[in-house]
Amino acid sequence: MSENQTNAAGIGWLLVLVQAVLLLGLVLTPGGDAWPTPGWLDGAGFALVLAGLALVAIASLQLGSALTPTPEPRSGSTLRTGGLYGVFRHPIYVGVAIIVVGLVVGSGSLGRLGLGIVTLLFFDRKAAWEEGRLAAAYPDYPAHLAATHRWLPTPGNR
């Protein structure tokens, strides 16, 4: 493993650690009373968490053997551009973002709102870093960048 690969692997694990701390913080931050949280809003938040979990699970299955714990592409794997990966560049991160929104909306907590915003910004930067790694690993990744949006659904290829 080259020094550059070792550095990228270390950065990848650091990103995973930060993500774990942020997500754990979101779950453990108590609710508040900064905004009203009627039952329907709490239910909507719960539904978003379930939808996000489903998206993460489906995208993980579609990634198959290319799934890694870090944002470093697995050596010898092929670029996934079909299924959810043809709709979003990062469907797992989109699922996590939906979970974050679900955790925030029904909480009434300014602390959770702030942490949610930081978490979403973190995942945007993590996705950008990962895109650089993917572009280096897969020659056709720039075409995928042009054809799909990082966060929003892309209807067909543009």
Round the average pLDDT of the chain to a whole number and report it.
92
Q: pTM of the prediction?
A: 0.92
Q: Is 158 inside any structural domain?
A: no
The mean per-residue pLDDT over the stretch 3-27 comes to: 89
Strands (E) located in the chain: none
Q: Is 153 inside any structural domain?
A: no
Q: Is 79 inside any structural domain?
A: yes
User: Using 50, 70 and 90 to split pLDDT, how confident is the model at 78?
Assistant: very high
Q: Is the pLDDT of residue 4 over 90?
A: no
Q: Is 10 inside any structural domain?
A: yes
* Rounded percentage of the chain residues whose pLDDT exceeds 70: 94
How many structural domains compose the chain?
A: 1
Provide the β-strand partners of residue 149: 88
Q: Is 125 inside any structural domain?
A: yes
Cβ proximity of 105 and 31 under 8 Å:
no
The mean per-residue pLDDT over the stretch 5-34 comes to: 92
The mean per-residue pLDDT over the stretch 83-100 comes to: 96
User: Using 50, 70 and 90 to split pLDDT, how confident is the model at 158?
Assistant: very low
Q: Is 154 inside any structural domain?
A: no
Residue range of the domain that includes 57: 3-147
